[in-house]
Structure 1
Amino acid sequence: MIKSESSQSIDEAAADWVARRDRADLTQEEEAAFQHWLMGDVRRPGALLRAQAVFLRSEAAGALGNRYDPADFQIEAKADISAPQVSRRRLLMAGSGMAAAVIVGGLGFGLLMPQAYATERGERRLVRLEDGSSIFLNTDTRVSVRYAGGARIVDLVKGEAFFTVAPDAKRPFTVEAGEDRISTGGASFCVRLLEDRPARILVDEGQVSATAAAGHNVLLRAGTRLDMALDSPGRARPVSISAEEIIRDLAWRDGKIAFQGETLAQAAEAFARYGDPSIEIRDEALRQEQVTGLFAANDPVGFSKAIASLFGAHLVRQGSSIVLSRPAA
């Protein structure tokens, strides 16, 4: 039985190859050995990219001198992992500028009007709701939360959010994503709603019921994913996915982007969601090259440098864009 190579040993070998390639040009024999190593395992290209990115970052740190401290240059973290301060957000009230709950005279209970939460590009935010549930907002996301008629309702206006729903059989929790509705009595799931794309639902724990505009209903259990069809909701079917795929899809919660065989064109599109500079790939063959690995969502420059090194591409900064191209053979 052949023993599988560990991820740690792959990472160590990748770091060694990066260091060797930096010290001097590889001989013909060494280059052949490098290519043989690189193609020997699907995990190795991603490990090489990560090692290259770390190397480039350390080079930049060295150029700043011995007193360089990365913390001095970091932008204040935008992820809000505490309970939101109501005074910092406006409560949306129909026909009124007031920011308060309306107390119904003599009945002793409040009608909580919709509360809006949002993130800008590059931001993440954790919102804790009064019922014990929470919403983790990804980049460029907007939601509106309201409680009405014994129901908990969240309108996902745009973006992506991970919902951890406190169990309450008497008050169903419903996410409205465009014309689709996702309901549960208690589950952990993610909903993505991007422009000109069908809503994507991923269930991590528990189960949810997804209902399309046409009335078609689908039950999703833990470990399944569903893309609601734009043209024919009746054809949408959930797909079982592995634990590794779930981790990759939810890597954004840790500020990462995970790729597993996506093209560079798709990778550039993914980075564009998180902020500038954008990545522009002008060579069609280069756009179709595949990439595997885990990368910082806020570091398109480091990613582009690693890609340029791996695929022999030229990198040029033009305004708010990074242009990657490969010289003609």
Structure 2
Amino acid sequence: MRVSKDGVEMNTASDNDDRQRALHEATEWFVRLNNPLASDETRRAYQIWLVADVAHPEAMQAVSDLWGALDQPAAQLAASGWHRDTPAPVPTPPHRRPARHGARLAAASAVLALVAAIFVWRDPGIIDRAFADAATRPGERRDVRLADGSLAMLDGDTALSSDMAGGRRVVTLLRGRAWFDVVADSARPFTVHAGQVDVQVRGTAFEVDREAAAVTVEHGRVAVSGPQIADLQVDLTDWQRVAFQNGSLSTPTAIEPDQAFAWRRGLIIVDRAPLSQVVKELDKMAPGHVLIVDRQLERTTLSGTFRADDQESVLEALRATLGVRTLSLPGVATLIYR
């Protein structure tokens, strides 16, 4: 530890390295101890490791908390039966299929269901992407040229489908965030459906964020409405934003251009953004979930400019400025806690 000029304790790089080393060792011990075949010798070795450093018990508790956070949603998904496409088959009479074979099959099915549930939980966008006309994985961005010549830029973990047949120009944003540069066509309005908001234009450039239920216009003019508020329409023009909030559309607000579309340049810019919002950006940057264990942390804020492909730099900023700790299982989850 070192103390800053204002008397606040700050973690040094060495402190962080020691903590991460303890967390990695704790993860290894957690896996070993949860092996049903773990020997008494292994358990004695674990007790020696546990008391060898005051950081070890804390690291072990953090790992246990992380796995506890993963178990609950995975178990809920497995119990929901989402993976069953058809009714369960009628059991074969015992004389045709030995009970032991049936037990093995049931155990294998349970394991497969759990693996599938965890797989979907760690990457919930996989289903939307599978049925989309164009999609990106977390951490990926790409440009897509639609059939009418319009351009769509997709942020990480985004999926969309399009229908350009006949006189239609309809895009459905299934998940994520996309920016559109629409080819003008007065005879065929361009419509985007994105959950709680609908957008209609003839030729303009704008962004739609499905999760935030928000529309931001770069140039041109768009009309924003919604499936549940068809009688209410908000018109937006250059550098204006509107969002669906509390059952209605907000009043259009002016936005800061550089900050609003920073992700298109491969940047994430936050200005006193609550940690809950920062976590949403982190989820788009790499596979796996980012979880806030201490709910009081959600209201703490962060400011800064970061590369959109460098999740670790954001986590390092959180550790340095907010004094939080993190534990990562790459590709699965990252835990943020005090």
Calculate the TM-score normalised by the size of structure 2: 0.56
Partner residue, 2:284? 273
Supply the distance in 2 between the matched residues of 1:250 and 1:318 (Cα, whole angstroms). 30
Partner of 1:148: helix, strand, or coil?
Answer: coil
User: Which stretches in structure 1 are left out of the alignment for 5+ residues?
Assistant: 1-23, 36-51, 57-113
Partner residue, 2:168? 151
Aligned match for 1:241, one of 254, 275, 278: 254
Query: Quick one: which amino acid aligns to residue 187 of structure 2?
Result: K
CA deviations over 1:52-98 (Å, ceiling 9, x no partner): 9xxx9xxxxxxxxxxxxxxxxxxxxxxxxxxxxxxxxxxxxxxxxxx
- The answer (yes or no) to whether the contact 1:279–1:300 under 8 Å persists in 2 is no
Partner of 2:268: helix, strand, or coil?
Answer: strand
Cα RMSD over matched residues? 3.0
Partner residue, 1:126? 143
Following superposition, the deviation at residue 175 of structure 1 comes to 1.1
Following superposition, the deviation at residue 293 of structure 1 comes to 1.0
1:188–1:306 Cα change, 3 Å: same
Supply the distance in 1 between the matched residues of 2:290 and 2:317 (Cα, whole angstroms). 13
1:115–1:150 Cα change, 3 Å: farther
Supply the distance in 2 between the matched residues of 1:324 and 1:218 (Cα, whole angstroms). 38
Partner residue, 2:222? 208
CA deviations over 1:149-183 (Å, ceiling 9, x no partner): 42322122222110101122122111122364211
Partner residue, 1:181? 198
Partner of 1:273: helix, strand, or coil?
Answer: helix
Partner residue, 1:321? 333
Q: Trace 1:221-232 onto structure 2 (pairs within 5 A).
A: 221-229=237-245, 231=247
Supply the distance in 2 between the matched residues of 1:145 and 1:229 (Cα, whole angstroms). 26
Query: Quick one: which amino acid aligns to residue 193 of structure 2?
Result: E
Supply the distance in 2 between the matched residues of 1:161 and 1:254 (Cα, whole angstroms). 13
1:169 aligns with 2:169: no
User: Which stretches in structure 2 are left out of the alignment for 5+ residues?
Assistant: 18-130
Supply the distance in 2 between the matched residues of 1:155 and 1:276 (Cα, whole angstroms). 23
Supply the distance in 1 between the matched residues of 2:153 and 2:300 (Cα, whole angstroms). 32
- The answer (yes or no) to whether the contact 1:279–1:304 under 8 Å persists in 2 is no
Following superposition, the deviation at residue 292 of structure 1 comes to 0.7
Following superposition, the deviation at residue 285 of structure 1 comes to 4.8
Following superposition, the deviation at residue 323 of structure 1 comes to 3.3
Aligned residues: 215
Partner residue, 2:86? none
1:323–1:239 Cα change, 3 Å: same
Partner of 2:263: helix, strand, or coil?
Answer: helix
Partner residue, 1:190? 207
Q: Trace 1:1-329 onto structure 2 (pairs within 5 A).
A: 31-32=5-6, 116-178=133-195, 180-194=197-211, 199-213=213-227, 214-215=229-230, 216-229=232-245, 231=247, 233=248, 236-242=249-255, 244=256, 246-276=257-287, 278-318=289-329, 320-326=332-338
Supply the distance in 1 between the matched residues of 2:224 and 2:251 (Cα, whole angstroms). 10
Bigger Rg, structure 1 or 2: 2
- The answer (yes or no) to whether the contact 1:225–1:240 under 8 Å persists in 2 is yes
- The answer (yes or no) to whether the contact 1:180–1:212 under 8 Å persists in 2 is yes
Q: Aligned residues: percent identity? A: 29
